[in-house]
């Protein structure tokens, strides 16, 4: 009787192992060109802070841009989702060019934008897609896709969608330190064609554990 029970247990374990192996095989074989082990953090977040071009290029500009952003990367499938929330208002240079009354904050044209990119594609060809820095960055990756953008909570008047390239870059001390977001037409009529700069505050692994790739290694 004991031997029969052991046989049942062995058969059950064998079936579980076979089923698990089959499931793994299916997931890998389903798209073998895209599947690969994770080497990047899966979750990134940080701040952005930059300026648009002058009023000659951007109506009402130059605007100050400040906000937060987040990025979710699925390295195994080469996909990503990016979002940002920012506020904009005319900078002090507007006083010089006569578009801002320094005593009337309502003349600064304050407004908000929410940016959402859900079809991002991961690429390691960042030197060809990302801006240069001084001191120079040494490694990173880029995300390309299209974004839907709002203005004060409604679809932006310049139209949707717009192409967006997001770069996550860094160096020896902090592997992923910088974020840039470059926006194409039609939204570039409002934000400009230049990269919008930001900082990586933190990143985490697929299991939500903090990653040392976005902090100074002491």
Grouped pLDDT means (10 residues each) for the chain, 218 residues: 44 39 33 55 98 80 95 96 97 87 91 98 95 95 98 97 98 96 96 97 95 86
18 and 45 share one domain: no
Quickly list H helices, the chain.
Answer: 2-30, 93-96, 126-129, 188-191
13 and 69 share one domain: no
67 and 89 share one domain: yes
80 and 174 share one domain: yes
91 and 191 share one domain: yes
120 and 23 share one domain: no
Can you give the pLDDT at residue 93? Answer: 87
175 and 76 share one domain: yes
Print the domain residue range for 139.
33-214
Model-level pTM? 0.81
185 and 206 share one domain: yes
Task: List all residues 6 or more positions away from 169 whose beta carbon is below 8 Å from its beta carbon.
Answer: 126, 130, 133, 137, 139, 140, 176, 177, 178, 179, 180
61 and 20 share one domain: no
106 and 127 share one domain: yes
21 and 99 share one domain: no
50 and 74 share one domain: yes
Domain count, the chain: 2
């Amino acid at each position: 009787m004991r031997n029969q029970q052991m046989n049942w247990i062995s058969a059950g374990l064998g079936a579980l192992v076979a089923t698990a192996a089959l499931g793994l095989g299916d997931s890998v074989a389903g798209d073998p060109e895209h599947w690969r082990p994770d080497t990047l953090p899966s979750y990134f977040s940080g701040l952005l802070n930059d300026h648009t071009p002058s009023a000659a290029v951007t109506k009402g500009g130059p605007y100050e841009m400040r906000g937060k952003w987040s990025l979710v990367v699925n390295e195994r499938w080469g996909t990503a989702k990016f979002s940002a929330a920012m506020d904009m208002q005319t900078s002090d240079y507007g006083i010089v060019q006569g578009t801002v009354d320094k005593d009337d904050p309502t003349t600064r044209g304050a407004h908000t934008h929410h940016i959402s990119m859900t079809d991002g594609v991961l690429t390691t060809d960042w030197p060809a897609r990302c801006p240069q820095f001084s001191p120079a960055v040494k490694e990173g990756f880029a995300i390309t896709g299209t974004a839907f953008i709002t203005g004060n909570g409604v679809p932006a008047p310049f139209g949707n969608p717009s192409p967006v390239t997001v770069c996550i870059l860094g160096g020896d001390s902090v592997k992923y330190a910088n974020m840039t977001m470059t926006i194409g037409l039609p939204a570039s009529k409002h934000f400009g064609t230049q990269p919008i700069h930001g900082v990586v505050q933190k990143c985490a692994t697929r299991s939500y554990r903090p990653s040392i790739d976005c902090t100074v290694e002491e």
